[in-house]
Amino acid sequence: MLQQPMLEAINRQINAELYSAYLYLSMSSRFSALGLSGGANWMRVQAQEEMTHAARFYDHVVERNGEVKLTAIEEPPSVWPTAPAMFEDALDHERKVTGMIDALADLALELKDHASHNMLQWFIAEQVEEEASAEDMIQKLRLTEGAPGGLFQLDNEMAARVFVPPTPAN
């Protein structure tokens, strides 16, 4: 059974992951409005990933005989001036989520909740990938500054991204 502080913290994380999905869906919509369907696809795939993250936390709570408490999800921003601005916000957001995951791991150690700490190791590794992915896109977008053809090519690359569900938790 989850101790109350861990249960409350994971429930907050579920909300944060669902907010992340909302944020990326909002970014997807903005990419569409900018005429960048590849960027819209990239962000939709990211939203799907965030939903699986929320589900993974949800399943952990249920498996540990806890009660999931779903709360209101904050409204995300809906306007960004440029594609690079969206990815910069995405990177800032992922860094914030990394801090939240690290705090959960610290709490699990403090509470000697080894099952939760073990589950969180997947998320710690995942956050390294999330940050690197956003940083990679920012770098590529910087390379296209002043080169509309480059942005067109990069948008085509983003259109090829597909959602790959993570392997089931052990």
- Domain map (residue ranges) of the chain: 4-159
Q: Is 104 within 8 Å of 9 (Cβ atoms)?
A: yes
pLDDT given for residue 169 in this prediction: 54
- Give the C-alpha separation, 128 to 169, whole Å: 18
CA-wise closest residue to 86 among 30, 20, 164, 38: 30
- Give the C-alpha separation, 105 to 119, whole Å: 9
For residue 170, is pLDDT > 70? no
End-to-end Cα, the chain, rounded Å = 18
CA triple 138-90-139, angle to 5 deg: 5
Give the fold, CATH level 3, of 4-159.
Ferritin (1.20.1260)
pLDDT digits (tens, 9 = 90+) for 93-106: 999 999 999 999 99
pLDDT digits (tens, 9 = 90+) for 98-132: 999 999 999 999 999 999 999 999 999 999 999 99
pLDDT digits (tens, 9 = 90+) for 27-86: 999 999 999 999 999 999 999 999 999 999 999 999 999 999 999 999 999 999 999 999
Which tokens belong to 166? Answer: 């993570």
Up-side HSE of residue 18: CA atoms within 13 Å toward CB? 16
Which tokens belong to 95? Answer: 């860094």
146 membership: H or E segment, kind and range: none
CA 80 to chain centre: 18
